[in-house]
Each structure stands twice: as structure tokens, then as C-alpha cells.
Structure 1
Amino acid sequence: MHPAPDLPPHAAVWSAHDGLPLLRTLATALIGLEAITGLDGFSLPYPAEAQRALNRTVLTCLLQGAEPPVSLPELLTWCRYRPISDWPLDLPADAVGRTDHLLDPDSGRPTELCHEWADRAADSAANQRDREIIRTALRLCRDCGEEDAYTEFRRLLVNRPVLTSVEFFDVTNDHVLDPVRELIRRIYLPVPASHLRAGAYAGCARCLTLLLPVQDGSWWCERDHCRRQGSAPVGDLWPTEEVGELFQLERPLRQFVTGPGRAETDLEHALITLGLRVRMWPGFDAYDLHVTFPDGHVWAIDVKDWAHPAFLGRAARPVAPEPPYDEAFWVVPEYRVDDRPGYLDIYRRHRPASARGLPLLTDADLIARAAARLRGAPDGGIHA
């Protein structure tokens, strides 16, 4: 299959490396295994996708003259403790970072990067569950002419990824959310018992998602940004005897909507604090933030909280022209750039020609640029 003609030469060569399909297979298998078994126990026969991942890994190792994993548990040990960069895989230069893992070494759960390999490395956007849900919500709200319903739906997914039974009832009976009521019922799922400790669930005080109990008595947060700030701070506690069933957003939405949404609302708050006017998800989510300066100058901003800069570059596209604006940016949280050497350069190398003029800034750089503009200072060096 020939690469899409819009891809830059550096990105187009990805199709020549046979380690990439294997990583996608592994990531998909790991996420499926977590849903079925919790990744903590197996019996033969293995699930079909897991067996396929093991078979392909063994074959790849043999072709590379390397010792393969002899069982699924050993393959999971590789995924948890062995950086992908140390695997005998044929991968292009920007595919993995030096410390990338498919499973988190502390918790044994799929990393955010693993979810990106499963959901973002696929060629077809139809395979991306989060976009499917968002497109459905947009269609339902547009059909009803209810832009406010869509905005409230997005805020729900960002600010309330966990709901008690009572809250779930209230949300699904909120008339503002009428167009997406049935969709909400499908995307909030019962929380598995693996999240329980001493009969209670715990929420993260920083990112609002559920925490996972770890054997050493600590808690693990699924968000990279949260973990890099230190031990997970316990926020809300939900004893099962008081709340009954607990519901949480399905994982693709927590990964690709809740997480970036926190970055979006943090940026909203910072820009409002500067004295700017901000509309969130304008024009039925044409982009994330519509920012108006006192002189009427308008910025359009899309926030992309992605771990893998090459995936982000390959997904780059011009910001939608409506609602109208004077300048447009993609923005990534600064911690992503700090965590991955060369993040911005990798993004630029993989950005297609149609998005060559789309700058990627960190949130800190964008805030500084906004403050400088308010002072009447030059914008400074922002490279596209």
C-alpha cells in the first residue's frame, strides 16, 4: 500500500517497518486482556488477540535471531519491565522513546502510550472510539439545534468522569442533555471491583479519574501528568455501602476526551485570568477555544494532550475556518514536551504538507505569548 501523498517523506517511511503492525497488535491485545482478565491471571487457551500477539512476537524475534518470550505471562513481563526500545523490532527512528513501555511498571496496567498505539496508530479514523462518540454527540445536538447541549456534554466528560448511581440518574434526566441522554447511558460503565480497597472506591484529587489500588498500599493514577507530579492524592471516597454502583467513562473517552479536556479547561482559566474572553468548543466543537483580545483579535486553539509526537504530527490538519479567527494554534501540555526529548521537532517532521503552517505550542508558551500581546510586545519566536 502506498503512503498517503500528503505525508512528509519522514513520515511516509513508517509503512516500510514491520515492527509497527506488531506494536499495534500488542497494544490492542493488552487492552483487551485488561478488560477480560485484569492482566493478573490466565488460563489456556489464551484469548485470540493475545495468542495472535504472542505468535507474532515470537516470529519477529526468531526472524531477528533473538530469544522470544515463551508464554503470554513472559510477554507481559516484557511489556511491563522492558522498554520498547530494547525489543528486537524493526522500528523507524521516531516510533518509540528510550523509556516507553506498553504496561506501566508500577501498576501493570496499559500506559497512555499503549492506548495511543491501539487507537491512534491505526490508519482509519473509524477505529478511534472517542471520535466516534464525539461525532455522534455532535450529530444529535446539531439535529436538535442545541449547541448548549453539546457544550454541557463536553463539560460532563471533562469534569465528571466518575458518577455515583444517584448522579448518573440526575445526569440522564437533565433536560439540557436530552439530545445525548442515550449516548451517556452507553459510555458510562459500571466500575469493576479491581478498583476497590477496603470496600471503597477512591478518586484522584488532581485529575478526577478513579485510582487503582497497588499491592504496596499506594494508589495508581492512569494519567501520565498526574503520576509525574508524585504520589496520587486521594480525593473523593465512595464506600459501596453508601453509593451502591459506581460508573465511569469508558477508557478511550477518559484517555482522549477527559485528559485533554482538563488541559483545555486549565488553559481556559489561565487565559480568562489574563483578562481575555474565551468560548469553549465553539460552533459545535469546530475547535477547542475561541479567544478574543480587547482589540478584537481572535485566536483559535486546539489542545492535543498526546504522549506520542509522531502520532500527533500525522494527525495534524488546519484548524476549521469557522467561527472565524485571525490566528490558529495547536497546543500541547508542557509536560508532554518535557517528558519526550525532541517532541516538537518530531511533530514537525511528521506533519503533512497541508498543515505545514500549523504551529504547535506548549500551553506555557501560548500563555506567555498571550500576555506579551496584551502588553503590546512582539510575539517572539514561534516556529511553525
Structure 2
Amino acid sequence: MVDLLELSWACAKTHRHQARVLPHRDSTLDPEDENMQDARGRRGAVTTAALRSAVAWSRRQEEQRAWREVARMTGVIMHAFGPGAGPSTPAELVALLHRPLGELLPAAGEASALDTVVLLDADGTLSDEAMEIACDYTQALFDTDADPATEWLPRWAWQRAEQVERQTFRSLIQAGNQAVYTSSRRFIVERPAGDLRWLADERTTATPYAGARQVADYIDIPRDRQFRFGAGEDEVRWWPCPVCRWPMRVRPPIVKCSYGPHEARFRLVDRDGSPPELVKTSTTRLRTPQPQTVAGARCVDPAVWRFVTVPGIPEIALERLRQRFPGLVVQLWPIKDTFDAVISAPDGRTWTVDVKDHTDARGIVDDPPAAQHVVVPSYRKGQVNQLKRLLPEKSVWTVDSFVRHVSDHMRGSAAQ
């Protein structure tokens, strides 16, 4: 057990250090914009600290450094709030991690998807919402070299999406080969998990992945995504999400994808000593996946799945246009991902497209897309009107409405 006095010292030390680490206000902004920037910055810092604390707390049994991490993050939050506000001890912070984040975060003046997120379930395990939603808001609290927790905290808890993406594809970007970049990225999106030998065969022999390199590490299937139904090595199973193909979380009798919008939810049917089966409980039209043997299986790191595989699914969905209209050219991730797609019609019409899958539309606005057409997954259709208002110079669509738009153009062009 870590000494509580030591934890309090670590908490206070981090509180003092954060004064040098958290970003300063931009003095060039007018007071109203400055206050908004400051509020978003503080909410981002508190969200990151809360997420890291929740991950640490869920691993406290096997990781002694978890206790100190909770203390350090309490210090971060103390600094973000200032004297007399927010949790002042690690115990107070842990209690709040079982509550909706809106009770912990500084006021934002508007509703946020974060407000209802609960990071820790009643039994102290990390919630799916932590990986689905909260990691969208992470920011750098310390220089990586000065952050000892990066040795054991998962990357998605402390790195931003663009950092994971840059590290994953750094060698391909430097090599300058667009075809290899595209096939390698496609492989991670379409083959994020499977038997290791099968994955190797797919990458080296399947036509869609010609030239693909192994740019991401494939790790053992995480323990919380396995189900054991017997004592033998071959009597452990996992199930791929029918949408993203990454291992679903297993908490008997529930098996579900950790990315909520995929709506992949199933009930586990365990028949004494026989391989288990799933029964779909969601109303979405999805196939029920077959159980896969854990022995010999691997999957991409959770950060790569969350920040490369998941957003890549609606990007690749745009290729359905090429299949429907001969002569239409769809280039995915051209110029090393300057855009997510460039679509060219035979009559010379061209669309530059960025596909954005953010929990909060503000995350898109804060980092405006380069493309003229901003496309969100159909499960984010509620963001379209807000994005049209906040990005008036862009054309904003859902994937389905954009596909219809291009289809209408192609039919009209063919009729002339």
C-alpha cells in the first residue's frame, strides 16, 4: 500500500509543476474568445487527467505505479480549477470517476458529449465510454520524456489521434511511396485482428494490400476480450465486431464493441463445455460473428484501432461509388493523407473530402479540414447543421447523403 502522505506530496508537487506545463492564454485574443479558449483548455486538461486516473485505478492491482499516477493527476486537476474548487485528494477524484464527467469538469456554457460519460463502472473497471468518447479529448500534459506513466499507460489515454497516426505511418511518409502508404493503411482498417498466419498471408498475397508493410504492432488479444469455456489452450474464444473487426469486450453475458456507434451488442450463450455462441440484442442489421480461437490470434494496439481503424471505416465506404459508376476515380488518403479522399468524375468534376468521426463537432471546428467537403458518418448526422453553421465555407454531408450527391451528379452527367 502506498503511503497516503507520499501520495499527497506527489499530488502537491504535480500541482506546482502544472503551472509550467499547462498552456498559457493567447494575449492576442479578445476577452470573450480568450475566456472560451481558457475554458476549453481547462476542460481538456481535466478530461485527460480524469481519463488517465481512471485507467490507472482500473489497473491498480497489477501496477503499483497506478497509485502515484492518480495522485499526479489530482494535482493536474487542482491546478486547472485553482484554489478551493474541484477534488483536493486522490480519494475524492476516484469517487468522482464513478460519476458523470459533467460533475467534475469546469463549466463550458454549452452541452457536451462528455457530460454524461462515466469513466469507471461500479466494480472499478474502465468503461467503454472511456475509449469511445473521452480519449477524443486528450491533450499533452507533460513532455513525453518527462512523463514516466507513458511506460505503462495505454497510448490512447495520453496521445492524440494525430500523434498515433504520425508514429504509425512515419516510415511510409518518409519513403514517399503513395501506393504503399495507401495499401498499408487499408490493411490496418480492414484487417485489425485475426490469426497471425492468416494476417501475414493477407498482407503479402491479397490484391487489395499489394505492397503493404507491417506498420503497426499486433498484440495478443486483450484478456477482457476473451472467454474461456474449458481448461484447454484451444478452449478460449474471442469475437470480432461485425463493423470494425476488432475484438469485442466480453463481460458475460454481454459481448459488445467498445465503440458504441457500431451498435454491436450480443448476449453470450454458454453451453457447458461446448464452444459458446452469440445472440444479437441490438436492433441494427448486423451479422452475428463466429467465435475465433484466441491461440495464435493477434490484434492491433487499442490506440491504432481507435484512431486509425475506426475512422478509416467510413473513409473506405466512399469506394462504393467506384463500384457503382465505371470511370469514377476514388483516391483514398492521397498525398499522404492531405485529404481523406479525392473523387474525380469523367466530366472533370472533382471533390476533395475529409471524413470526420468526432464525438463533439467542436473538435472538427477547432482543427478545420483542408478539404472542401466535410463528411461525417451517418450516426453523426446530428452534427451536420451545427457544422454547416460553424464552417460556412465548407459543404457538410453524412456519408450516405454525400454518396447520393455524387451519384446524382454521375447520373445527370450520363444523361446529357
Normalised by the length of structure 2, the TM-score is 0.68
Which letter does structure 1 place at the counterpart of 2:359? A
Residue of structure 2 aligned with 1:112, choices 132, 141, 154: 132
What does residue 227 of structure 1 align with?
263
Secondary structure at the residue paired with 1:24? helix
Counterpart residue type for residue 97 of structure 2: L
**2:380 counterpart residue number:** 336
Structure having greater relative contact order (Cα 8 Å, sep ≥ 6): 1
Say which of 283, 289, 304 aligns to 2:356.
Answer: 304
2:199 matched to 1:163?
no
1:150 paired with 2:194, answer no
Aligned to 1:345: 386
Residue identity matched to 1:256: F
For 1:220 and 1:157, locate their aligned partners in 2 and report how far apart those are by CA, in whole Å: 21
Following superposition of structure 1 onto structure 2, how do residues 1-384 of structure 1 map, counting pairs within 5 Å?
A: 1-3=24-26, 13-16=36-39, 18-31=42-55, 36=59, 46-54=66-74, 60=81, 63-64=84-85, 70=91, 73-78=94-99, 82=100, 84-85=101-102, 87-94=103-110, 96-97=112-113, 100-103=116-119, 108-109=127-128, 110-118=130-138, 128-142=162-176, 146-170=177-201, 180-181=213-214, 183-184=215-216, 187-198=217-228, 199-215=236-252, 217-227=253-263, 231=282, 234-240=288-294, 244-270=295-321, 272-275=323-326, 276-319=328-371, 328-338=372-382, 344-345=385-386, 349=390, 357-376=393-412
Letter in 2 for 1:204: C
Deviation at 1:12, TM superposition (A): 7.0
Instruction: Report if the CA contact (8 A) 2:318-2:399 is conserved.
Output: yes
The CA deviation string for residues 228-261 of structure 1, in whole angstroms up to 9 with x for no partner, is: 7863864142223xxx232211122211211111
1:133-157 Cα distance to aligned partner (Å, 9 max, x none): 3440432441xxx322211101111
CA distance in 2, matches of 1:6, 1:313: 17
Q: Percent identity?
A: 18
**Count of residue pairs the alignment pairs up:** 342
Structure 1 pair 335/12, CA: closer, same or farther in 2 (3 Å)? farther
Q: 1:179 to 1:6 in 2, by over 3 A?
A: farther
Question: Post-superposition shift, 1:332?
Answer: 0.9
Q: Which is greater in Rg? A: 2
Q: Contact (CA 8 Å) 2:354, 2:369: kept in 1 or not?
A: no
Deviates more, 1:92-101 or 1:13-22: 92-101
- Spell out, residue by residue over 1:14-39, the C-alpha distance to the aligned partner (whole angstroms, 9 max, x if none): 224634321121123334555x45xx
CA distance in 2, matches of 1:318, 1:11: 25
Would the aligned equivalents of 1:271 and 1:367 in 2 still touch at CA under 8 Å?
no
Residue segments in structure 2 that go unaligned for 5+ positions in a row: 1-23, 145-157, 229-235, 266-280
Q: Which amino acid aligns with 1:164?
A: D
Aligned residues: CA RMSD = 4.1
| CA–CA distance in structure 2, aligned partners of residues 371 and 10 of structure 1 | 41
Letter in 2 for 1:53: M
User: TM-score scaled to structure 1, two decimals?
Assistant: 0.73
